[in-house]
């Protein structure tokens, strides 16, 4: 570096690169979100803003900067202008004690808003950025507000409870009782460990979004994981509410969350949206995938799940037009034989054994261990892994997906563990091989991708995949012709889905 050059990084950019369950927002992204708002809001000395889950304070800081410029003509004296903005327009609720100090440092230039270093003096150290270490409300071992496990989070009065203030109340107006907020903005915590296993977590962002709507602001601008588009634990009612809410005016969706947060994997990507109290209509939806930007005005509830790729809509319409049955009719449950994922079977076969397929490979197990689905052991099937080929449902570096991790045909007296499910009950091996050829096509995996929002595949994810005649094999060329796909649609499918090995 040249000695005459000064390197002065924004500390909030640095924080945003830290991997954490509570994802910090880079200033650049915060400003893109604020750009969705009517810009005259920043020229009005009466506009009020609330970040009810502030972490680094980036949203509040960037709002103050925009108000500082926008109100220059109305309040010419800068110190007077800053005093007005901080005391009357910008408010926050921190998610932890540490983030309350960070946010105050970002907004007031001091962790103590009443101290000598604060750029605007308040009568209390918190100023307008609140924090209180409140407790969960336990009912039968779970918090009635967020679902946290009492065994994990009942830590005593001194330890951080992670009982976020904004969602641990039936009345969110209590925090600023005399305020009516025009804009609620921010990046809420995404999930919380349920305590049942290290890999299982319950979503939280949906609770923050629903709570914000209760305050009936003029606008809500938030960022969240996109897995609510098509699924996720505990998100069915939230998805239905969001898809049927015609006040969502804009959505900007990143298929790969790393395009927003380079060092963090978030299954299903992330999106930010503008909700407008007085707007009713279709949503202007933008998808960003592998540097490709596609924008379309959409009705969010056209399908039971939200299809994120605009080009896919025409393909789905052509397939649904034929009114064929859905492949999900021959897809099993996620535990077709009632055998857990940890079961590996044994290496030496005995007369009473059947073949068991697990993540380790081929083994053998006593027929008596089949607790469900024993009637299906006489058929041929296709066995499919219940997880996708992509980590966190993120595409490869070239932006393509494989979607299906593993499929293979299995015959009579062959079973699989919970790691797999089965498709089809066929009398002949030929039919199972023809189904295998169908599932291997780019078209099927493209349609499957439209209903997937995380790493998991289940029966419901086949909602756009039609059932075919499996007396013969299938190829992409046959499917392109059958459904009348255009060259542009074919090129899009092939640009997204790579061939199976």
From 194, 216, 238, the end of a domain falls on: 216
Domain assignment present for residue 221? The answer is no
In this predicted structure, what is the pLDDT of residue 15?
A: 43
- In terms of domains, do 201 and 253 share one? no
Q: Give me the count of residues in the chain.
A: 501
Domain assignment present for residue 314? The answer is no
- In terms of domains, do 111 and 200 share one? yes
Q: Is the dihedral of CA 60, 61, 62, 68 positive or negative?
A: positive
From 193, 216, 239, the end of a domain falls on: 216
Q: What is the pLDDT of residues 411-438, one digit of tens each?
A: 999 999 999 999 999 999 999 999 999 9
Number of Cα atoms under 13 Å in the Cβ half of residue 459: 13
Domain assignment present for residue 241? The answer is yes
Question: In Å, what is the CA distance from 55 to each residue of 16, 92, 131, 171?
Answer: 10, 10, 11, 22
Domain assignment present for residue 240? The answer is yes
Q: What is the pLDDT of residues 403-412, one digit of tens each?
A: 999 999 999 9
From 161, 184, 216, the end of a domain falls on: 216
- In terms of domains, do 388 and 336 share one? yes
The structure tokens listed for 212 are 């914000």
- In terms of domains, do 237 and 173 share one? no
Domain assignment present for residue 68? The answer is yes
Overall domain count for the chain: 3
Residue 7 has pLDDT above 60, yes or no: no
- In terms of domains, do 303 and 338 share one? no
- In terms of domains, do 488 and 373 share one? yes
- In terms of domains, do 133 and 243 share one? no
In this predicted structure, what is the pLDDT of residue 2?
A: 43
The structure tokens listed for 325 are 């049955």
Domain assignment present for residue 317? The answer is no
- In terms of domains, do 299 and 332 share one? no
pTM for this one? 0.88
Percent of the chain topping pLDDT 90: 75
CA–CA gap between residue 99 and residue 55 (Å, rounded): 5
Domain assignment present for residue 4? The answer is no
Domain assignment present for residue 244? The answer is yes
- In terms of domains, do 199 and 101 share one? yes
- In terms of domains, do 406 and 304 share one? no
Q: What is the pLDDT of residues 122-140, one digit of tens each?
A: 999 999 999 998 889 999 9
Taking Cα atoms as reference points, which of 63, 83, 86, 68 lies closest to residue 185? Answer: 63
- In terms of domains, do 101 and 192 share one? yes
Query: Which of 256-265, 279-288, 341-350 has the highest mean predicted lDDT (pLDDT)?
Result: 279-288
- The helix, strand and coil proportions of the chain, stated in percent and rounded to the nearest 5, come to 30, 20, 50
Place of tokens 């419901």: 460
The structure tokens listed for 360 are 């380790």
Q: Between these two residues, 115 and 266, which has the higher pLDDT value?
A: 115
At 104, the pLDDT band (50, 70, 90 cuts) reads very high
At 200, the pLDDT band (50, 70, 90 cuts) reads low
- In terms of domains, do 212 and 239 share one? no
Nearby residues of 184 by Cβ (< 8 Å), 6 or more positions away: 49, 50, 51, 52, 212, 215, 217, 219, 220, 221, 222
Which range of residues forms the domain containing residue 205? 11-216
């Amino acid at each position: 570096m040249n000695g005459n050059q000064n390197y002065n990084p924004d500390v909030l950019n640095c924080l945003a690169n830290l991997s954490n369950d509570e994802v910090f927002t880079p200033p650049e992204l915060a400003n893109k979100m604020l750009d969705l708002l009517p810009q005259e809001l920043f020229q009005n000395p009466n506009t009020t803003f609330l970040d009810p889950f502030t972490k680094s304070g980036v949203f509040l800081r960037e709002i103050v900067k925009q108000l500082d410029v926008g109100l220059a003509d109305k309040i010419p004296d800068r110190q007077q202008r800053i005093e007005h903005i901080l005391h009357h327009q910008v408010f926050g609720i921190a998610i932890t004690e540490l983030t309350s100090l960070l946010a105050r440092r970002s907004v007031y230039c001091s962790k103590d808003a009443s101290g000598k270093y604060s750029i605007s003096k308040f009568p209390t150290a918190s100023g307008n950025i609140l924090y209180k270490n409140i407790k969960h409300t336990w009912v039968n071992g779970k918090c009635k507000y967020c679902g946290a496990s009492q065994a994990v989070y009942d830590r005593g009065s001194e330890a951080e409870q992670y009982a976020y203030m904004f969602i641990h109340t039936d009345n969110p107006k209590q925090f600023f009782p005399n305020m009516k907020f025009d804009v609620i903005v921010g990046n809420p915590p995404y999930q919380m460990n349920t305590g049942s296993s290290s890999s299982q977590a319950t979503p939280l962002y949906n609770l923050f979004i629903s709570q914000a709507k209760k305050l009936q602001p003029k606008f809500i601008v938030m960022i969240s994981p996109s897995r609510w588009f098509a699924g996720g634990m505990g998100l069915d009612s939230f998805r239905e509410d969001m898809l049927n809410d015609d006040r969502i005016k804009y959505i900007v969706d990143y298929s790969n969350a790393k395009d927003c947060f380079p060092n963090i994997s978030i299954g299903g990507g992330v999106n930010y949206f503008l909700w407008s109290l007085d707007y009713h209509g279709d949503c202007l939806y933008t998808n960003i995938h592998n540097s490709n930007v596609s924008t379309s005005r959409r009705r969010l509830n056209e399908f039971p799940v939200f299809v994120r790729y605009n080009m896919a809509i025409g393909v789905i319409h052509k397939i649904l037009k034929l009114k064929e049955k859905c492949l999900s009719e021959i897809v099993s449950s996620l535990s077709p034989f009632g055998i857990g994922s940890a079961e590996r079977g044994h290496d030496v076969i005995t007369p009473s054994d059947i073949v068991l397929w697990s993540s380790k490979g081929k083994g053998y197990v006593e027929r008596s261990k089949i607790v469900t689905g024993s009637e299906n052991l006489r058929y041929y099937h296709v066995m499919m892994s219940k997880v996708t080929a992509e980590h966190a449902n993120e595409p490869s570096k070239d932006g393509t997906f494989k979607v299906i991790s593993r499929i293979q045909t299995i015959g009579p007296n062959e079973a699989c563990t919970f790691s797999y499910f089965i498709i089809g009950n066929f009398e002949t091996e030929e039919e199972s091989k023809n189904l295998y050829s169908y599932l291997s096509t780019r078209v099927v995996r493209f349609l499957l991708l439209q209903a997937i929002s995380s790493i998991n595949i289940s029966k419901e994810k086949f909602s756009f995949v039609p059932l075919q005649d499996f007396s013969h094999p299938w190829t992409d060329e046959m499917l392109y012709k059958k459904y009348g796909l255009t060259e542009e649609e074919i090129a899009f499918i092939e640009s997204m889905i790579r061939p199976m090995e």
